[in-house]
Copies of this chain bind each other. A is one copy, B any other.
Amino acid sequence: MPIYQKIKEALEASIADGVYPIGERLPPEITLAKQFKVSRETIRSAIKLLEQESKVFVRHGVGTFVVNPLPSLPNSLENLMSVTSMLMHAGLEDGERREKLHKEVPTDEWKELLQLKPNEDVIVHERIRTANNEPVVFSKNVLSSKLVGEHILNKKKIGSLFQYLKEVHQIEIDKASTEIIVPLHTDPNCQKLLIHPATTVLLLKQIHYDLHNKPVLFSLDYFRNDIFKFFISRIRS
């Protein structure tokens, strides 16, 4: 682990221990550099990390100040994870009921979003995830059939698509552009989850990209909002 990482954690620990109380100023960078016996730039790298995590607040010409710790948000939405991972994080066993898995001619929307070539077909995969035999998520996934081949059509159970793409095709999903939607109750996909009167459903419409920002996977994920909670940290730009 690089030195600036260690210093960052040391400073974090000092803050937690009350050596530098909330609202107080940290020692100036030069002083810290002498204390840790490193150059000033190394200290600055450590402080930059703390600043990004909003643990300190830096004011040019004044100093670096310890701020109030923010409450930790569980499962923040800006952290991309597969539905399978979300189920595990929520402590739910992952039952799976397949509804559809076949090749299709893509819609115009899919063509555009997945940057498909003319005459390129797609694989469409729909399934319901269950916990205690109750449906909790409905997912529709769309992939280029050229990308994943048609071998996938013979698979009995796929599990995490993210993991499948990584292990079988060395495609690493890294980012997603997501629209957050409240579906109508008349949406047939939504209705699959509306079992209890106190249930509401949130829809994530997502395009997933690999490390090179190539669009790989289009998905519609319907989540029961009485089971899953969604958080996000927002910052003024």
Contacts and interface: CB of A to CB of B under 8 A. Distances in A.
Interface residues of A, number: 48
A161 to B, nearest CB: 14
A80 B237 CA distance: 7
Interface in A207-225: 209, 211-215, 225
A168 interface: no
Contacts of A47: none
B201 A182 contact: yes
Interface string A79-91: 1110000000000
A108 to B, nearest CB: 16
Interface stretch (A12-20, A93-101, A170-178): A170-178
A213 B69 contact: yes
A230 B179 contact: yes
Interface stretch (A25-33, A70-78, A130-138): A70-78
Contacts of A235: 78-80, 174-175
Nearest to A112: B71
A173 to B, nearest CB: 7
Nearest to A173: B236
A68 B212 contact: yes
A180 interface: yes
A116 B184 CA distance: 39
B77 A231 contact: no
Contact of A233 (B68, B177, B182, B183): B177
Contact of A200 (B81, B184, B225, B233): B184
A198 to B, nearest CB: 7
Contact of A236 (B23, B69, B81): B81
Contacts of A110: none
Nearest to A231: B179
Nearest to A69: B213
A214 B68 CA distance: 6
A57 B212 contact: yes
Top 3 nearest A-B pairs by Cβ distance?
A80-B234, A182-B200, A68-B213
Given A57-B212, A68-B209, A206-B234, 13 more contacts: A68-B213, A68-B214, A70-B213, A71-B177, A78-B78, A80-B237, A173-B236, A178-B233, A179-B229, A180-B202, A182-B182, A182-B201, A184-B198
